[in-house]
Chain A
C-alpha cells in the first residue's frame, strides 16, 4: 500500500526559502501572503497490506531518516 508523508520545519525554525518565496509572491501582487513555510512530501510504496503495520514502519522511517527531529516534524497522512 501507499503511505504519504509530509515533513515540515518545526515552528520557530528559520525557513529562508519559505521567506524568499513569500517575498516573491508579495512582489507578484499576491500582497496578502504573510508567510510561506516550505516542506517535503513523500509517496512511499510499502509491500504490506495491513495499514497499521505499514504506517508504523513508515513512522520508523520518519524518525530514522526522512525527518531530522532537531528541526523537522513529520505527519503520516
Chain B
C-alpha cells in the first residue's frame, strides 16, 4: 500500500508520520508542496506543524499551495486523505471539510495526552478498531472547532463526527473539552468518509516505551482497510 505525506514549509510532524506509516507497512513517499503531481497513492496525509508560519489563518496559505489541486482531485475521486492537526486546518481551508479551527478558548497552547471517543466506525479509518476510546496526544493553539448551526446539524445527520474529546470512560461532555470545540469535536469526516481531519496525533502514540500504543491501533486498522 502506497502513501504520500505532503511537506509544507513549517510542517514538523511529517517525519513522525513517515516513521509511523512505514512501521505499519505503508510504502511511504514524501511530496514537496511546490510539486504539481502526487505519485500514485492509496492514502495522502497532510501532516501537523505550522505551515507557512500560520500566517493569515492556520492552514490558509497551504490550502492554496500548488500541490493542493492534486490533493483535492484525489479526494474528490474517492481517495483517502488524512489531515492531522495543521493538516486538519488545511483541509477546512480548502473546503474539503466543513467548519474551521479557531484559537483555543482559553488562549493557551495545549500539549498533553487526551482521550477521544470514536463516534463512527463505518469507515476505513476506524472500522476494525475494537476500542471505543483512544488515548492520543494533542499539541495545538488553534483546535477549537467551529461551524454554523446549520452545518453542525448536517454534520451530525450525516455521521460526519469522527472523534470527540472525552474522559477515559468515554464521557464526551464539557468537562472533558480541552479547547472549546463545538460538541467536543476532535475530528470530522467529509460526507463520503474518505477524508478525515483530526487534531490528535496518532503518529505520536506508536511506541509502548515512549508514549502509548493507541496510535498503533489506528495505523494497523488503516493498513488493513486500504
Contact = CB atoms under 8 A, between A and B. Distances in A.
Contact of B105 (A14, A65, A66, A71): A14
A65 B148 contact: no
Nearest to B107: A16
Interface string B146-165: 11100100000000000000
Contacts of B180: 14
B103 A17 contact: yes
Interface residues of A, number: 11
Contact of B106 (A16, A65, A68, A71): A16
Contacts of A17: 103, 107
Contacts of B92: 70
A33 interface: no
B178 to A, nearest CB: 14
B146 A13 contact: yes
Nearest to A69: B100
B182 to A, nearest CB: 10
Given A13-B146, A14-B102, A14-B180, A68 B93 contact: yes
A20 interface: yes
A70 B105 contact: no
Contacts of A68: 57, 60, 93, 100
B99 interface: yes
Contacts of A14: 102, 105, 144, 146, 180
Given A65-B64, A71-B100, A20 B107 contact: yes
A14 B103 CA distance: 9
Nearest to B98: A70
Nearest to A71: B100
Contacts of B106: 16
B191 to A, nearest CB: 17
Contacts of A71: 100, 102, 146
Interface of B: 56-57, 60, 64, 92-93, 99-100, 102-107, 144, 146-148, 151, 180
Given A14-B105, A16-B107, A17-B103, 17 more contacts: A13-B102, A13-B146, A14-B102, A14-B144, A14-B180, A16-B103, A16-B106, A20-B107, A64-B64, A65-B60, A68-B93, A70-B92, A70-B100, A70-B146, A70-B147, A70-B151, A71-B146
